């Protein structure tokens, strides 16, 4: 059994308050400006398994939550994306000053588990929330988990040098930034990733950002537990 940890908070099980487990496929719960989702969108790919998610605390500034899962079969397919999503109105990238965000978490898992912990952001050419571009930021990856597409660059953003991938998921263009080492305590301005894409890959600054979430994509594993001590985000306009 392996435990990734960065905070003493992870060891204080008694600190969990107002916890409410939801295990249904589309279960969700509001937590201040965030919605916490179970989101078992790929569960039918598994031969067996289940996943439950819960809010740990309700805070106007940050989300604290956890999810536990066991998924067996089809290790090439993602089974879910339990996440906390920050709620905001769609806004053009050109109108954004900064996107400050922080993610502080622990994961307990065995060596056979395959999963990631990642941000997921979506943009569209209009404010209709039609997905055109997806930007993923992988903080943790285990086993052979890898993003869609091929590696196109390596670039330092903030204090981390990221491997940059580009691929297609249906008709959605996906850019993925993958850290070479697991990052368990992350805090940065997410707008730096968009500035890089605009400057280096012709990304259109007129695109509307309409979704910002962070969670975990499991492929396979038994009794894996993600505890998010703190997730916070905001979108600050000019």
Q: How far is CA 214 from CA 72, 102, 201, in A?
A: 23, 10, 24
84 contacts 208 by C-beta, under 8 angstroms:
no
The HSE-up count of residue 204 (CA atoms within 13 Å, CB side) is: 12
Q: Which of 29, 62, 213, 217 is catalytic?
A: 217
Catalytic residue at 76?
no
Q: Which of 29, 62, 134, 213 is catalytic?
A: 134
Rounded Cα–Cα distance for residues 223 and 105 (Å)? 17
Catalytic residue at 132?
no
52 burial (CB, 10 Å; 0-12 / 13-18 / 19+) is middle
End-to-end CA separation in angstroms for the chain: 46
140 contacts 226 by C-beta, under 8 angstroms:
no
> How many C-beta atoms surround the C-beta of residue 20 within 10 A?
11
Rounded Cα–Cα distance for residues 52 and 64 (Å)? 15
Cα–Cα nearest to 31, from 20, 15, 47: 20
- The residues annotated as belonging to the active site are 134, 217
């Amino acid at each position: 059994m392996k435990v990734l940890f960065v905070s003493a908070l992870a060891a204080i099980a008694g600190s969990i308050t107002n916890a409410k487990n939801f295990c249904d496929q589309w279960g969700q719960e509001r937590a201040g400006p965030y919605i916490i989702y179970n989101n078992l969108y790929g569960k039918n790919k598994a031969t067996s398994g289940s996943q439950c998610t819960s809010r740990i605390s309700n805070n106007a500034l940050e989300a604290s939550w956890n999810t536990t899962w066991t998924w067996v079969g089809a290790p090439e397919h993602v089974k879910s994306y339990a996440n906390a999503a920050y709620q905001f109105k769609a806004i053009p990238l050109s109108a954004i000053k900064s996107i400050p965000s922080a993610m502080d978490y622990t994961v307990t898992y065995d060596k056979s588990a395959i999963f990631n912990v990642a941000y997921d952001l979506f943009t569209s050419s209009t404010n209709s929330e039609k997905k055109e571009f997806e930007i993923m930021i992988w903080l943790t990856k285990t086993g052979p988990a890898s993003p869609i597409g091929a590696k196109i660059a390596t670039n330092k953003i903030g204090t981390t040098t990221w491997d940059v991938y580009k691929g297609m998921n249906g008709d959605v263009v996906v850019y993925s930034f993958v850290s070479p080492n697991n990052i368990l305590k992350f805090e940065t301005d997410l707008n730096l990733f968009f500035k890089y894409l605009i400057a280096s890959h012709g990304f259109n600054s007129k695109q509307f950002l309409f979704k910002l979430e962070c969670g975990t994509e499991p492929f396979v594993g038994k009794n894996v537990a993600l505890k998010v001590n703190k997730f916070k985000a905001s979108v600050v306009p000019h």
